Amino acid sequence: MKITTGLYGLSLIVTLIIMGGCASSQPKLTQAEVLSQYPQVASLNAEVKDAQAKGSKYLAPKSYETARKNLDSAMSAAHNNEKEDASEAAAKGLKVIDKMKKDTASSKRLLNDVLQARKRAMAAGVATLQSEKLAELDKSLRKTSELIEDGSIEKAKRRRPELLQGYSQLELMALKKGTVELARTAIANAKKQGAESYAPKTLAQSEEKMALAVSILDADRTQTSKAEAQAKNARWLAEKSAVITETVKDFDRRDYTKEDIILWHQAQMNIVNEPIGGKLPFNESSDAVALSLKASIEKLKSAEGNYSQQLAATKKEREAMLARDRAVKKQFETVQAMFSKQEANVYLQRQNVLISAHGFQFPSGVSEIQTANFPLMSKIVRAIKLFPNSRIDVSGHTDSTGAGHINKALSQARAEKVSKFLSEVGDISSKRIKAVGYGESRPVASNMNAKGRAENRRVEITIINE
């Protein structure tokens, strides 16, 4: 019995060892495999990367950190093929993303001036030159953003001036120190590459500008802009000397003759000239080639200037047109509100306003304006006077009852009567008004019923602004 039990136990142990070995031998997934096999993890990974690029690390630090930790957990579980744990962690992370985006947007709005100051400081090289002080300010920025995340907006606002001043001071310090240091570094690098031997003239110019920048700062620490300009020039010249050095070394390595160097130079000029087109006169002197290229560029510049002027004029004209459109639309809305549905329909036709007045009461076969029509005519006069620079087309229309030639004559007479009222009673210049009768030729409704015929018996006043 003891032997049997011992053998059974030994067998069980061996089995467990084998099973354990099989489980542990399962290979871990690579990063690419995780992202392809776990869509939620891939989505969270993309969101976190995007958030980092948009500054959420500073602008929504709590949400960002939560999302990042969930991403780490999801990645770790996915690498080990722990599907449920990976999906659960990814889902938790994705739930935080929306809040993080909203908090980031809120912080950007509230701290816009602070962020601009930080951006300027970073451009001045503060990350290298004042890294510790930058870290302290960034820590304060994160705390301010945390207040925004918690809804403590007023507390966050109170911290803003200190942050703004801090980043601005860092920028100033970096400008004083950074540009000069960067120029020194550029000169040192150029010397290491051998510029003293290969580009001594350019390197000497760089060192002169550098010395001038230092002397300006020594004389007056407030003249940072002048010193910065000289230091930037020194850096540019140092970098130029390094490029010249490398180019000369390359010529030496390739064993270029003087002719090879000139041919190389001409090839470079051809690259510049390629967008312009045509051949450069390399059969003439170098001065002639340079003048030819200069003339071509000046011609393009002149054409660009003319195009810019045309573009500006077109833009100005378009802005004026849009302003006029807005004004016409506003006036159109005023005109539209003047008339009831029984009196007229008012339409906007691009710049023009059409008043289709079907409320006139002309007795059959008569063109005289009746007293009952005076209120409607007064409204039309008021509408026209909203557009003092317009032309006025008055058109008369009838239904199809009666002979066509009679209807045309009647519609002409009615249009002329309305025009006469506009000029004599409405005090609108007759030179602005044109009257035309169309008879029954332009119906807007069916002449088969009384309602349609009533709509067709109308006078249309078009206020032309084009």
pLDDT digits (tens, 9 = 90+) for 143-158: 999 998 898 999 988 9
Asked whether residue 321 is domain-assigned, the answer is no
Asked whether residue 92 is domain-assigned, the answer is yes
pLDDT of residue 15: 53
184 lies in the same domain as 205:
yes
Asked whether residue 285 is domain-assigned, the answer is no
Neighbouring-strand partners of residue 356: 345, 460
102 lies in the same domain as 145:
no
Asked whether residue 327 is domain-assigned, the answer is no
140 lies in the same domain as 232:
yes
- pTM, entire model: 0.40
Confidence band, pLDDT 50/70/90 cuts, at residue 24: very low
349 lies in the same domain as 451:
yes
103 lies in the same domain as 155:
no
**Burial annotation 192-208 (CB, 10 A radius, 16+ → b, else e):** ebbbeebbeebbebbbe
pLDDT of residue 175: 67
Domain containing residue 404: CATH number: 3.30.1330.60
Overall domain count for the chain: 3
Cα torsion 103, 106, 110, 115: sign: positive
CA 121: distance to chain centroid? 24
Angle between helices 39-53 and 83-110 (to 10 degrees): 20
pLDDT digits (tens, 9 = 90+) for 436-446: 999 999 999 99
246 lies in the same domain as 168:
yes
The DSSP secondary structure of 113-124, one letter per residue, reads HHHHHHHHHHHT
345 lies in the same domain as 438:
yes
Q: Which domain holds residue 360?
A: 339-464
Domain boundary among 110, 125, 141: 110
Please name which of 427, 340, 346 lies closest in space to residue 382, comparing C-alpha atoms: 427
Asked whether residue 283 is domain-assigned, the answer is no
pLDDT of residue 69: 92
182 lies in the same domain as 240:
yes
pLDDT of residue 227: 86
431 lies in the same domain as 348:
yes
157 lies in the same domain as 85:
no
Domain boundary among 250, 276, 292: 250
Asked whether residue 320 is domain-assigned, the answer is no
Confidence band, pLDDT 50/70/90 cuts, at residue 222: low
pLDDT of residue 120: 84
106 lies in the same domain as 117:
no
Neighbouring-strand partners of residue 346: 355
pLDDT digits (tens, 9 = 90+) for 363-376: 666 667 778 888 99
pLDDT digits (tens, 9 = 90+) for 335-368: 999 999 888 899 999 889 999 988 777 666 666 7
98 lies in the same domain as 132:
no
Domain boundary among 71, 95, 110: 110
Asked whether residue 210 is domain-assigned, the answer is yes
